[in-house]
Amino acid sequence: MEIHRYEKVWIAISLLFIVGLIGSIVYGVTAANVGTNSDSRQQVDANHLDGTEFGTPGGHWVGPNHYVVYVVGQQWRWKPGTSTPIMVPTNTTVTFYVTSADVVHGFQVVGSKVNVMAIPGQVTKFTTEFEQPKSYGIVCNEYCGAAHQNMEGQLVAVPRDTLSRNNTTNTTTSNTSRDMRILPNNADVGSSSSVQFTASGDRS
């Protein structure tokens, strides 16, 4: 095929540019540790969240440096998040598990790296870290019905020592979280009936 010399050069530069872009993203995802959202291999029945971790959503410690938060989106609030803030420790690995009890929602913690979809039936898993104590706003960024524009909430990153490692009766020292129920840590979780995800991880 007849290709002008300049055009050959242009195509070569274009290909290098494309490979360079992909390379920079590989670097960003691996070395710079920017989180990506993968398949949690967990499914739930959106109509029966009661028997699962999402029946009593909220945060708890699962290890010395690992905190998990279960969040449910439901027309038109985040549970927790809307009536009580989500509390997370700073400088700690925080894993969010997000699902929806009805329609598709978008869980976006404005100003953080957290921006994931909540899809009924699916469990979204996203791991990140909050460096500074700070209060963030949460929005629903996917249209979810008539009062979509009212669906908002709050997430507060607090120094890790202030977030209790004990169970049930403890609340955090932050006065914005008076009603926040701290769930038992994972020593209890494994033996309880709370893990009722339909099996899907055994596919491999």
Partner 1 sequence: MSYIDDFPHEARVVRVMFAVAFVSVAIGGLFGLLQAWFRTNIFRGAFSTVEYYSILTAHGVLMALVFTTFFIVGLFTWGVTRSLDRGFNDRRFTWAWVTIMTLGPVLSFGSVMGAFVGWIPFHGSVLYTFYAPLEASPTFYLGLTLLIVGSWGASVDYLWTLYDWRRDHPNERTPLQTYMAVATMLLWFICSAGVAVEVLFFLLPWSLGWIPAVNPLLTRTLFWYFGHAVVYFWLLPAYFVWYSLLPKFSGGRLLSDSLARVVFLLFLLLSTPVGLHHQFSDPGISAGLKFVQMTSTYFILLPSLMTAFTVVASMEHGARQRGGTGRLGWLRALPWEKPYFSGCALAGIAFAAGGFGGMVNAAINMNAMIHNTIWVPGHFHLTVGTATALTFMAVTYWLLPQITGKRLRSRTVAAVQPYLWFVGMVLMSNAMHIEGLAGVPRRTSEPTYSQIVYNFPIGSLSELRLQVALGAALLFVSLLCFLLVVLRTWFGRRGAAPIAVNSDIPKPLSGPDAGPRILDNFRIWVAIAVLLVIIAYGIPLASMIQHGVFTGSTPFPT
Which listed residue (71, 106, 160, 172) binds partner 1 by CB under 8 A? 106
Q: Shortest approach of partner 1 to residue 192 CB, angstroms?
A: 23
95 touches partner 1 (CB under 8 A)? no
* Nearer to partner 1 (CB atom), residue 37 or residue 95: 37
User: 86 exposed, middle or buried (CB, 10 Å; 0-12, 13-18, 19+)?
Assistant: buried
* Nearer to partner 1 (CB atom), residue 94 or residue 116: 116
Span 109-168, contacts to partner 1 by CB under 8 A: 110-111, 113-117, 119-125, 137-150, 152-154
Which listed residue (56, 102, 133, 196) binds partner 1 by CB under 8 A? 102
* Nearer to partner 1 (CB atom), residue 63 or residue 121: 121
Contacts for 180 with CB less than 8 Å, ≥ 6 apart: 58, 80, 84, 85, 87, 171, 172
d(CA 46, CA 91): 32
* Nearer to partner 1 (CB atom), residue 51 or residue 111: 111
d(CA 72, CA 117): 11
Report DSSP state, residue 189.
H
For the record, the structure tokens of 67 come out as 């905190």
39 touches partner 1 (CB under 8 A)? yes
Contacts for 110 with CB less than 8 Å, ≥ 6 apart: 136, 137, 138, 139
Amino acid of residue 74: Q
Footprint of partner 1 on this chain (CB under 8 A)?
Answer: 1-4, 6-7, 10-11, 14-15, 17-18, 21-22, 25, 28-29, 34-40, 43, 46, 75, 98, 102-104, 106, 108, 110-111, 113-117, 119-125, 137-150, 152-154, 198, 200, 203
